[in-house]
Amino acid sequence: MTKIVVVGSYVVDLMCRTPHFPKPGETVLGGPFKMGPGGKGGNQATAAARCGAQVTFITKVGQDIFGKEALEHFQKEEMNTKFIKVDSEEPTGTALITVDKNGENSIVVALGACGKITEADVMEAEEVIKDANIVLLQLETSIEAVVTSVKLAQKYNVPVILNPAPYQEFPKEILKYISYITPNETEAFELSGIEVKDPQTALEAAKKIYHMGVQSVIITMGGQGAFLYTGEKEGKFIPSYKVEAIDTTGAGDAFNGGLAYALSKGNSIIEAVQFANSVAALSVTKIGTAPAMPYKEDIENFLRGKGLLVP
């Protein structure tokens, strides 16, 4: 079984459907309301675990009911929870999510405890990082945690996926130690200064990010698909799979969890992106984030139906 270490955020998702996003000062009658496990780190860890990986998740939660529910969720998903710390001062993070009738979402995150992950917290997990097939990171936590994780992975030659979301400034010198970076259009613009609208502009942005030192650039473009660039002249656009989207929240996290799993299994980068696209596609057919992540059997059936390789 492949071993993936995810370092990042856990927040509880407080999600409500809305007929439209409220204008400033407007109150909208919506519903239904759902509460469940979330956060980019937690979602990606759940996605990778449901694909079939052995996942260790490194995060922090509060000493509250949300923190207790977080531990129960990750234990149910059969992850290694040894490095999920409980903070006695900070509350568990929360995400306030609205989803409109078209499945689009708007999110405000209060990181709470997971924004306080320290260098020491990550260093405690040195042995599992050393033994991992891949390390998966996001920017929805402390930059200290991200930098420490990158340095540890580099020390043991463990490939790193950095999902630079939600975008915040970070030391760009770590990019030379990043094997794969997975920005969406907004994050690609923050990194490159180039607005991504189509495969041609994605190529321009990807080239600029690649020359910052990253080995492989994968720009996710929502329902269009993903653009892959590894230094060749043109790059490759890999289209998404068309499904009826109910809730797009967490689709990027599904993609990253699926990508980590496929790469850790030894699949080629193109095969891994195709697999990740399938995980993302299935995730948007259900409501929620971590609870909407598809299971291995569903992914395999979906891929077989498309005549594609199952990792």
Is 252 among the annotated ligand-binding positions?
Answer: yes
Please indicate if the annotation marks 105 as binding a ligand.
no
Q: How far are the Cα atoms of 50, 68, 96, 290 from residue 59, in angstroms, in the given order?
A: 19, 13, 20, 15
CA distance 269 to 228: 9
Return phi, psi of residue 140, to 5°.
Answer: -90, 50
Two structure tokens written together for 302: 């979906």
DSSP state of 23: P
Q: Is 82 annotated for ligand binding?
A: no
Q: 310 by DSSP, 3-state: which?
A: coil
121 is in an annotated binding site: no
Measure Cα distances from 48 to 129, 183, 240, 260 in Å. Answer: 16, 18, 19, 7
AA letter at 145: A
- Catalytic one among 100, 131, 198, 253? 253
43 is in an annotated binding site: yes
256 annotated as ligand-binding: no
298 catalytic residue (yes or no): no
27 is known to lie in a ligand binding site: no
> Is 247 labelled as part of a ligand binding site?
yes
- CA pair distance 237, 149, nearest whole angstrom: 30
Does 80 belong to an annotated binding site? Answer: no
Phi and psi at residue 260, to the nearest 5°: -60, -40
12 assigned binding-site residue: yes
Angle (deg, nearest 10), helices 199-210 and 185-192: 50
Long-range contacts of 295-300 (CB under 8 A, 24+ apart): 295/50, 296/50, 296/51, 296/52, 299/51, 299/258, 299/275
Please indicate if the annotation marks 233 as binding a ligand: no
Compute and round to an integer the Cα radius of gyration of the chain. Answer: 18
Annotation-wise, does 31 bind a ligand?
A: no
| Closest of 154, 214, 152 to residue 183, by C-alpha | 214
DSSP 178: -
What order do you get walking across the sheet with 11-17 strand by strand? Answer: 33-38, 11-17, 93-99, 105-110
Residue 8 assigned ligand-binding role: no
Residue 109 assigned as binding residue: no
93 labelled as ligand-binding? no
Is 220 annotated in a binding site? The answer is: yes
253 is in an annotated binding site: yes
Q: Which residues are annotated as a binding site for substrate?
A: 11-13, 39-43, 140, 253
Residues with active-site annotation: 253
Q: Which residues are annotated as a binding site?
A: 11-13, 39-43, 140, 184, 220-225, 247, 249, 252-253, 277, 283, 286, 288
Q: Which residues are annotated as a binding site for ATP?
A: 184, 220-225, 252-253, 277
